[in-house]
Amino acid sequence: MTAIRHLGIQDYEPIWRDMQQFTVDRTPETEDELWIVEHPPVYTLGLNGKREHLLNTGNIPVIHCDRGGQVTYHGSGQVVIYTLLDLTRLKLNIRQLVSLLEQAMIDVLAAYNIDSKARADAPGVYVGTNKIGSIGIRIKKNCSYHGLSLNNNMDLRPFDHINPCGYADLKVTQLADLGIIIETYELANRVAHALTTALHR
């Protein structure tokens, strides 16, 4: 089974360090966990992220972390779910995991009559050409950490000050802008449920 932990609003770096420690300490018997969290405003730059994609970050902190991918923004009103999973036990490779995370978001959005798709050339979930969900993963000991973010009802303006995921002129959207008003914790629970269902089919 997969345990779901609700962590509330937490600063990014302590949660990142906790994920690292959880992954280092885990054994083949350790239960998988999903961590649901919201972060105060922060930009995160992936392992091979290029600082040139940070355009005008102002007073929002920038943290260079160890996930894949380029730069993204986290803030209040965004669903963040960290996926601490044993890929050997689940018989998943990294590509299958990314597809599973994308599909969970797509399925939840479809329940709100939002048509979204994944893109082979740029991981994440898109409504038309606008990005609504992002994925960044790290694998260590064949276990994953980091995870996904889904924009619900947040201030999107900080995305204007970066090249989101390394793409200049990539626009982002969110459920609130698509006419769906839902509490972030409720949306997070739905995505977590979709994930656990997919993981244990």
Positions annotated as catalytic residues are 165
Known binding site: residues?
67-74, 134-136, 147-149
Instruction: Tell me what pLDDT residue 175 has.
Output: 98
Confidence band for 167, pLDDT divided at 50, 70 and 90: confident
Confidence band for 125, pLDDT divided at 50, 70 and 90: very high
Single-letter amino acid code for the residue at 118: A
Instruction: Tell me what pLDDT residue 172 has.
Output: 98
In the predicted structure, residue 149 carries a pLDDT above the cut 90 = yes
Note the pLDDT tens digit of each residue in 51-90. 899 999 999 999 999 999 899 999 999 999 999 999 999 9
Mean of the per-residue pLDDT values for the chain? 96
Instruction: Tell me what pLDDT residue 171 has.
Output: 95
CATH topology (fold) of 2-199: BirA Bifunctional Protein; domain 2 (3.30.930)
Helix (H, G, I), strand (E, B), or coil: what is residue 200?
coil
Confidence band for 1, pLDDT divided at 50, 70 and 90: confident
Known binding site for substrate: residues?
67-74, 134-136, 147-149
Helix (H, G, I), strand (E, B), or coil: what is residue 25?
helix
- What percentage of residues in the chain have a pLDDT greater than 90? 92
Nearest-10 Cα torsion for 118, 122, 124, 130: -80
Of 35, 115, 120, the closest CA to residue 79 belongs to: 35
In the predicted structure, residue 121 carries a pLDDT above the cut 90 = no
Confidence band for 161, pLDDT divided at 50, 70 and 90: very high
Q: What is the Cα Rg of the chain in Å?
A: 16
Q: Is 48 exposed, middle or buried (0-12, 13-18, 19+ CB in 10 A)?
A: exposed
Average pLDDT over residues 170-174: 96
In the predicted structure, residue 48 carries a pLDDT above the cut 90 = no
Q: What is this structure's pTM?
A: 0.97
Confidence band for 109, pLDDT divided at 50, 70 and 90: very high
The domain locations on the chain are 2-199
Confidence band for 169, pLDDT divided at 50, 70 and 90: confident
What's the rounded Cα separation, in Å, for the pair 117 and 15? Answer: 29
